[in-house]
Amino acid sequence: MEHHEHHIHLTPSEPTHHEDHIVTPGVYLVIGTCLLILTAATAAISYVDLGVFNAVVALAIACLKGSLVVLFFMHIKYSSRLTKLTVGAGFFTFLVLITMTMTDYISRAWGRW
Amino acid sequence: MDSHTVAAQTAITPHDEHAHPPFLRHHFENVAQQREAATFGMWLFLLTEIMFFGGMFCAYLIYRNWYYPAFVAGSHTLHIWAGTLNTALLIVSSFTMAMAVYSAETRKRKPLLRWMVITMILGTGFLCVKAYEWHDEWVEHHVPGLNFSPEQFMTGTKAYPDDKLPLDMAEKTQVYFSLYFAMTGMHALHMIIGVSLLMFLFVKAYGGAYTEGHVAPIENFGLYWHFVDIVWIFLYPLLYLISRHQ
């Protein structure tokens, strides 16, 4: 029905074009299991002394988990270029928020941070 | 009649469905465009939410750098089993929510309802564990401005006897707990809103509103639910796992 309808109107070069892809339960199960394993890993690693890298590893694992949720549970991997660009723009703006705020605070007591 | 009301009364509209599905609003050319526009709008909202939580994460980042020993001592008083259990509950609830979207997409009403109910139960379970933790903080005198006492942070605890801070740094644990309550509180508010919305959507889904091709509301609620899960995925290591090896 409307599956064929949208292929008539949109060519693959259109930014809103996307495959009518229904993600299977199998994919969800694999990603969900990965997320649970990564949770156990991040808890376990926090008991190991890595010095300053404890925070780096914890945040890296959190970013990986977040990426899996965004790409597969939120379907971004299967989305149109418009949606992908929107998500990318959001993360860029978030990075600007953190970076610009930090440049302010870091430069206040220069050398004593 | 809005698209929700129309969608819930799938039997009465005498249109030829190939020409015009009942839930297609007239300012959209076709269902695919309507769906794409709704998803785009939902993502824009989620981006504002990222900036909203981002502000608190930024404050956390700065204060953790300034008062690191206080943050370590504060974090040690949290129950790691509660944080880990909550993380697991939310991850499973994201899985069940994704399965609900799958059921809506494949037009299976009973599975959709079941997955929605399980998601509601898991979300409520999360809130119960959180309520227990907050009660615990109250009992332990960790609530800034209400009954906070820095004494415990100057003498050390059974589990972490080396958590002995001078008075001024012990007082700074209030900054950690303020951020803890603000961030988990705002997150819990989003969870409460999410569970409430899910109950509302369940009633509509029961009437068959989302298993006749009108999947956008379930899909976009799913986006909201996954987003709230991602916020917790970051809150968990930052609040609970600051340095468990010390």
Average pLDDT estimate for B173-177: 95
Q: Which amino acid is at B36?
A: E
Is the residue at B1 inside a domain? no
Q: Provide the shortest C-alpha distance from residue A30 to chain B (in Å).
A: 10
Query: Taking a contact as any Cβ pair under 8 Å apart, which residues of chain A between 51 and 110 contact chain B?
Result: 54, 58-59, 61-62, 65-66, 69-70, 72-75, 79-80, 82-83, 86-87, 89-91, 93-94, 97-98, 101-102, 105
Name the DSSP letter for residue B62: H
- Closest Cα in chain B, distance from residue A108 (Å): 12
Residue B7's Cβ-count burial label (10 Å; 0-12, 13-18, 19+) is buried
Predicted confidence at residue B156, as pLDDT, reads 83
What pLDDT does residue A110 have? 73
Contact A29 B95 (CB under 8 A): yes
| Chain B residues touching A36 at Cβ < 8 A | 88, 91-92
Q: Under an 8 A CB cutoff, do B84 and A39 touch?
A: yes
Q: What's the angle, vertex CA B46, arms to CA A92 and CA B108, rounded to 5?
A: 130
pLDDT tens digits for range B33-57: 999 999 999 999 999 999 999 999 9
In which band, very low, low, confident or very high, does the pLDDT at A109 lie, cut at 50, 70 and 90?
Answer: confident
Q: Is B236 on the interface with A (CB under 8 A)?
A: yes
Can you tell me the distance from the alpha carbon of A91 to that of A11, in angstroms, rounded to the nearest whole number?
28
The mean pLDDT of B132-136, rounded to a whole number, is: 96
- Single-letter amino acid code for the residue at A26: G
C-alpha span between B24 and B30 (Å, rounded) = 7
**pLDDT band at A64, cuts 50/70/90?**
very high
Residue B186 domain flag = yes
Q: Are B215 and B105 in contact (CB under 8 A)?
A: yes
- Interface confidence (ipTM) of the complex: 0.87
Q: Greatest CA separation found in chain A?
A: 66
Domain count, chain B: 1
| Rounded Cα–Cα distance for residues A86 and B50 (Å) | 13
Assigned domain for B11 exists: no
**Could you give phi then psi for residue B190, rounded to 5 degrees?**
-65, -35
User: By the CB < 8 Å criterion, does B174 face chain A?
Assistant: no
CATH code (residue B158): 1.20.120.80
Give the per-residue pLDDT at A5. 45
Give the whole-angstrom CA distance, residue A84 versus residue A91.
Answer: 11
Mean pLDDT of the A5-28 span: 72
Partners of A49 on chain B (C-beta within 8 Å) are 245-246
Cβ-based contacts of A66 with chain B (< 8 Å): 230, 233-234
pTM confidence score: 0.89
**Tokens standing for residue B110:** 């009973």
Predicted confidence band of residue B26 (pLDDT cuts 50, 70, 90): confident
3-state secondary structure A16-72: CCCCCCCCCHHHHHHHHHHHHHHHHHHHHHCCCCCCCHHHHHHHHHHHHHHHHHHHH
Q: How many CB atoms lie within 10 A of CB B90?
A: 28
Taking CA–CA distances from A101, the nearest residue in chain B reads B58
Percent of chain A with pLDDT over 70: 84
Given this model, what pLDDT does residue A8 score?
Answer: 46
Domain residue extents for chain A:
21-78, 80-113
Q: Residue A2: pLDDT band by 50, 70, 90 thresholds?
A: very low
Chain B, window 55-94: residues with a beta carbon less than 8 angstroms from a chain A beta carbon: 55, 57-58, 61-62, 65, 80, 84, 87-88, 91-92, 94
A56, A63, A74, A81, best to mutate vs chain B, most B CBs in 10 Å: A74
Pick from B44, B61, B245: CB nearest A49: B245
CB proximity list for A43: less than 8 A, separation 6 or greater: B80, B84, B241
- Average the pLDDT over each of B121-125, B140-144, B191-195 and give the range with the smallest value: B140-144
A46 contacts B245 by C-beta, under 8 angstroms = yes
Query: Which of B150, B144, B148 lies closest to B167, judged by CA?
Result: B150
Q: Does residue B77 sit within a domain?
A: yes
Are A23 and B102 in contact, with CB atoms under 8 Å apart?
A: yes
Residue A65 has pLDDT above 60, yes or no: yes
Confidence of residue A106 (pLDDT cuts 50, 70, 90): confident
Q: How far apart are CA B227 and CA B240, in angstroms?
A: 20
DSSP state of A107: T
CB B120 within 8 A of CB B203: no
Of B99, B102, B229, which has the smallest distance from its Cβ to A69's Cβ?
A: B229
What is the domain range of residue B134? 35-240
Predicted pLDDT at B41: 96
Which residue stretches of chain B are H helix?
A: 3-8, 31-66, 68-76, 80-105, 109-139, 152-155, 167-171, 173-206, 216-240
Is residue B69 domain-resident? yes
Instruction: Determine which of B24, B53, B58 to mutate to test the interface with A (most A C-beta atoms within 10 Å).
Output: B58
Tell me which amino acid residue A17 is. Answer: H
Q: Output the pLDDT for position B160.
A: 84
The answer on pLDDT for B206 being more than 70 is yes
pLDDT tens digit string along A4-14? 444 445 566 67
Residues of A in contact with B241 (CB under 8 A): 42-43, 46, 54, 58
Query: How far is residue B211 from each of residues A26, B23, B88, B110, B172, measured CA to CA in Å?
Result: 21, 12, 29, 10, 53
- From CA A55, how far away is CA A42, in angstroms rounded? 10
